[in-house]
Structure 1
Amino acid sequence: MSPTKIRNNVIKLSELSTKQPNYYFIQGYLMGLGVLPQMLPPSEWQPDLFGDINLQKESEIKYLESLMALYNQSMDKVIQNELKMPTKCSLSKQDYRDSLKPNMPLPSYCKGVLQALKNINKRMLDAGQKQALNNLSSVLKAFSNEKAATKEFGEFAQYNAQEYKRNYVYFMADAIVELRFSNDLTLSDEDEAEFNDSLGELVSS
């Protein structure tokens, strides 16, 4: 199934739901699921993301299939450390606030990730995991709306906004390592070294 077909079908699925999240919110949410310490079954995260979905025709089942295809793509990105935001979630180099207006791709994506992170039981996290989650959340919240960004970025707002955007990949990767892999006994020293090497390449790119 082509990326365009998946996108169109997922948008149609959203239109049939009670919450009707936009496509970038959906993308962010699915990537956020990849940070969770434990995998959530679709029966738990689909209602959180969409609310009720009213599928009336058998032909509309393909919309759910496209959603699961997009979900699987997101999990593959987590495993392969392809953590950059979608291209459309860019930050204006003239005035970062232009990118943070309601329903723009960047804030929608960040809000989606934050919504997924609400599934984490913070009481079960150790100090390192909590710090990694807080670092990631602070970047996401800063790009959620203009008011939050103004408060976070301070005097050198345009410069700081660009720096925060670059830090997103690092904080996302760190959160994944801490929350998903730090207690995973199947992750060998070699696997962790390989992950950190690929992370270094990501951050420097």
Structure 2
Amino acid sequence: MTKNSDELGNEKKARDIADLFKTAKELSILCGILISIIIFNPGEFVPTMWPNEFEAKTILTRYLGFSEDERRKKLVEHETYLAKKLIDRKLIIEEKMRRNEENKLNFMFKQLYDRKVKISELKLDAKEIRGLLKLSAATRAQLDERKKQFDQQAQNFQPASLLCNFDSTTKNEMDYSDFNVDTSLSLSSGRGIKRGRND
């Protein structure tokens, strides 16, 4: 015997309510707070209460005993909660879409840069073209900034050790050159003296 849609809906509703009661019990134990749940079902005159009718009425009476300002301090209506959840979910989806679009543009830009594909083969729309142009301009700006930093580092770089080595080498070569001159003069003088003696 198959169940009709009403019976299936009632079973699902019963499971959802049971899950709600279980979550409320766990939250009450973990946080040490009083929780009561009162559910008004369509077509029913007696509401469903948790944890039981007496405790639910006691907690509700205590809540109603607070002033209006006290009750509104941490009051969150279900519609407000759902609206906030929808806004948060929308922001998350928009952020994921933005990242996907950025990754797509980066991939196409790399394909074009590596010349693996021609721009005519991509069949870009106006939005994608604008995105690629913007990405190209940003990449160019980064390269210009890196080149500027590299030029500044090159200007500030002074190879002191190389200059010292160059100076000492030049000095040694000069001294060695002077030594050769002196030696040749001495030899010449020596040969001249020797020849004079033979004569």
Band the TM-score falls in, shorter-chain normalisation: under 0.3
When normalised by structure 2's length, the TM-score is: 0.18
Normalized per residue, which structure has more helix?
Answer: 2
Higher relative contact order (CA 8 A, sep 6+): 1
Larger Rg computed on CA atoms: 2
